[in-house]
Amino acid sequence: MRVFGLTGGVGMGKSTSAQLLRSRGILVVDTDDLARQVVEPGQPALAEIQAAFGPEIVGPDGQLRRDELARRVFADPAVRQQLEGILHPRIRARWRAQMKRWRGEGHAIAVVVIPLLFETGAEAELDATICVACTPATQHQRLLARGWSPQEIEQRLRAQWPTEVKIARADYLVWTEADLEVHAEQLDRILPAAG
Strands (E), 50-171: 109-113, 128-133
Sequence ranges of the domains in the chain: 2-36+94-190
pLDDT, residue 195, reads 44
Specify whether domain 2-36+94-190 bears CATH 3.40.228.10.
Answer: no
pTM of the model: 0.92
6-30: pLDDT as tens digits: 999 999 999 999 999 999 999 999 9
142-181: pLDDT as tens digits: 999 999 999 989 988 988 899 999 999 999 999 999 999 9
Q: How far apart are CA 18 and CA 191, in angstroms?
A: 12
Residues 6+ positions from 161 with CB-CB distance below 8 Å: 118, 119
